[in-house]
Structure 1
């Protein structure tokens, strides 16, 4: 490859990652500000018509959304994948005649592995798991932001709410894999290079949903996710952590103080390997008991720990690295 071509490739990868980071951080707020601003200009009918549409279309995110294969196949996602690079690894077959809940760990700052592997086609999920359709479930409040909601729905993103999960697991046939970043905002606060901490011990809602709809559980671990940014991690009880927890309680997500490799927000070029584990067979129980929930929750944590330790060395960690489950 010539020097000019290499430089051009590097530039495309950098721009692709930059647009993703800026979208993650600012696009939702920017779209909201734009629509409100237009209400006070001569273009106010556009905003008015959109808000009428928004009211009429309010329930669409919880009814399967509107996945667009064209958006999921954008070349920009391939450039973004190659920047790190990000790789999807299959360890077992997923039967297309069943439904699944994939628990993805860790959250990291921006869940680059989960987004790239399950909301785009750049990592080859459809080829690795033929007949299985992946949908990443994220914070439900994001689907209330004007224009931004259409954008994220086009990539197949869904709200992580009970009605949304119920629709996918009951009304969309078989071969559906709902991906949930279990640790959420709490786990993002623990993300930092060299740290392998997952927040799942007290999180059992996803197991209850799996039992209610008979969806098999699948652990997923993204090695390298926590290495993409340097974060200021406040100690428990400190003023900084209390403010983060308060913000998380009110808004549903936590503000992280982080820095990347370039211009503060560009992540480090660290390989991310997202490993999909073996499915845990789960029976269908309309009203699962606490004992059943605890049983399958324990099986899930054991399978997650096993997945981590079996693949940590091949994914760049040393044998001494441990997984901390809180």
Structure 2
């Protein structure tokens, strides 16, 4: 178990506001919209819902970045809490589109969020001319206000139409997919590097259909910031977790970190450095209907590139020389 140090309170509160802001939208702003319908201010929610109807397809048509939201200073406090950094190994040309594999999922995907959904680590300066989009569960974009907040940070839907749109309209788009998905969250245990990737080939097929370059990334430290209680697959708790995922689309993981006071337990993550290493892009030909053999070929090349990326940087960013990257 990690030995926690005393957290900076401003950084800790900034970190907590990230998930709590969504909770506030659910419990405060959305009920407020409904309440206003029965007051003299009813035109406000009516106008919003009318605009929502007209704007319904936007999450599948490139979304709506907000430089203002991405540059909020609060993201800097989240960055400094761990701290979080991004490392570029090769330039990304704005003349191409890219499909980026994000590994590992971790529990809350701190590294991917801070690096690709905010400017806290200077993404636009590191990769000039590249517009990042991090894909997440589609049903989030059906929730009023939440969808707008997500799109402002550059988050897009993980469904096929949304990804196809970004990879076929213009250039300089970088679409990040957490390939292991929510199932990989259960693999998020300190001192392990298990990735669900062996049978995940849809992203390779999509990249081939658009001629997009594949970009491997690995976030060191993502699985080190929380301890997780892992349950046996035959246990009732695991069955509940599976049922929860069937209903909501993600697992209800049992995890803990540190509290506000030194040496205490809580839901704050441990202060462990998180480093996202962005690998060299792998050029792919554009094939409208790639064969399974072709998909398998480039999937193998991608896994090899990801493995090399991990091996080249693992000892520099907290892994032991003997630690292996395991593909499940």
TM-score (norm: length of structure 1): 0.92
C-alpha separation between the residues in 2 aligned to 1:141 and 1:65? 15
Counterpart of 2:115 in structure 1 is 117
- The 5 Å alignment of 1:144-159 reads 144-159=142-157
Q: 1:22 aligns with which of 16, 20, 23?
A: 20
Q: Does 1:163 align with 2:161?
A: yes
Q: Which moved more, 1:127-136 or 1:306-315?
A: 127-136
Bigger Cα displacement from structure 2, 315-324 vs 260-269: 260-269
Counterpart of 1:55? 53
3-state SS of paired residue (1:51): helix
SS of the residue corresponding to residue 258 of structure 2 reads coil
Choose between structure 1 and 2: higher helix proportion: 1
Q: 1:65 aligns with which of 63, 72, 82?
A: 63
SS at 1:227 equivalent: coil
Q: Displacement, 1:97?
A: 0.9
Give how far 1:41 is off. 5.8
Aligned positions of 1:195-210 closer than 5 A: 195-210=192-207
1:35 and 1:146 in contact (8 A); partners too: no
CA distance in structure 1 between the partners assigned to 2:241 and 2:290 by the alignment: 34
**1:202-237: per-residue Cα shift (whole Å, max 9, x none)?**
111111110111111111111101111121111223
Offset at residue 195 of structure 1 (A) = 1.8
Match of residue 143 from structure 1: 141
1:1-326 to structure 2, matched below 5 A, reads 10-23=8-21, 26-27=23-24, 29-30=26-27, 31-39=29-37, 43-171=41-169, 173-262=170-259, 264-326=266-328
Specify the SS of the correspondent of 1:274.
strand
Residue 244 (structure 1) shift: 1.5
CA separation of 1:133/1:44 partners in 2, compared to 1, >3 Å: closer, same or farther?
Answer: same
CA positional deviation for 1:40: 5.7
| Contact preservation (8 Å) 1:61, 1:143 | yes
Counterpart CA distance in 1 for 2:211 and 2:25 is 34
Between 1:236-245 and 1:186-195, the stretch displaced more is 236-245
The 8 Å contact of residues 102 and 177 in structure 1, kept in 2 or not, is answered as yes
Give the 3 Å change call, closer, same or farther, for CA 282–35 of structure 1 in structure 2: same
Distance in 2 (CA, whole Å) between partners of 1:249 and 1:125 is 35
Deviation at 1:238, TM superposition (A): 2.2
Rounded to whole Å, the distance in 1 between the matches of 2:237 and 2:20 is 24
Contact residue 27 and residue 148 of structure 1 kept, 8 A? no
Q: Is the 8 A contact 1:28 1:142 kept in 2?
A: no
TM-score (norm. length: structure 2): 0.91
Aligned Cα root-mean-square deviation (Å): 1.9
Greater shift after overlay, 248-257 or 307-316?
Answer: 248-257
1:96 is displaced (CA, Å) by: 1.6
SS in 2 for 1:103: strand
